[in-house]
Amino acid sequence: MAGLISRSDLFAEFLQNRQRITGKITQIDRKYSRENPTVVNNPTPILLLVCNSQTQSYLSSLLTEYNYSPLLMKDPEELLHSLKERQSAIILVDCCAVTYFGTRILSKIRVSCPLSRVIFLCNKDHLCDKLHRELIKEVMNIGVYACILAPYKEWEILSMVSCNPQ
């Protein structure tokens, strides 16, 4: 049984290979039209605007473990400045950040980088709180890509960041 590969090793290899091939296909010059298009390795950046330090640490270490390079944003201004230089991004925002900075930050993200994929992270305990349920409803109406409830499982986070939003 020493030759068997574990599921976690197989999944890790799959994610690494997927990250390498999710680049952008370049245009083919017509005079070389018989050649296959080449893939440019231009992975979509992952930006974290997460105020909860435990969540921030977990996400950062998880994504780094799977060979992603998440960028930690300290405030909305830094995030918006970073988005101005990009066509697309995957942005993980927790409910603490949205509560602290306001839901307007999500609208600003949508305007400055329309191709971005915003993933909203919320604590399951907050579902008992009417204000947080309203917050989730509001952010979903703004157009976030997904809402994930804690405890955040590895596969949930990795499946959200492994797809290219372009």
Domain ranges of the chain: 43-162
Q: pLDDT higher for 102 or 43?
A: 102
pLDDT in tens, 25-35: 334 344 444 44
Question: Residue type at 50?
Answer: V
Sign of CA dihedral 142, 146, 149, 151: negative
Looking at residue 6, its pLDDT comes to 59
High-pLDDT (> 90) share of the chain, %: 44
DSSP one-letter code for 154: H
Most confident of 3-7, 36-40, 46-50, 101-105: 46-50
* Stronger pLDDT, 155 or 128, i.e. the higher one: 155
3-class secondary structure, 145:
coil
What pairs with residue 25 in β-bridges?
39
Average pLDDT (128-140) is 84
pTM: 0.71
pLDDT per position as a tens digit, 55-92? 999 999 999 999 999 999 999 999 999 998 788 899 99
Output 131 or 164, whichever has higher pLDDT: 131
pLDDT bin (cut points 50, 70, 90) of residue 164 is low
- Nearest 5°: phi and psi at 44? -70, 130
Predicted local distance difference test score (pLDDT) of residue 109: 92
Listed residue (36, 35, 30, 92) closest to 63, CA to CA = 92
Q: What is the pLDDT of residue 132?
A: 81
DSSP string, 35-62: SPP-EE--PPPEEEE---HHHHHHHHHH
CA dist 80 and 74 (Å) reads: 11
| CA–CA dist 72, 93 (Å, integer) | 11
Strand order in the sheet with 71-72: 71-72, 46-49, 90-94, 117-122, 146-149
Q: Which fold has domain 43-162?
A: Rossmann fold (3.40.50)
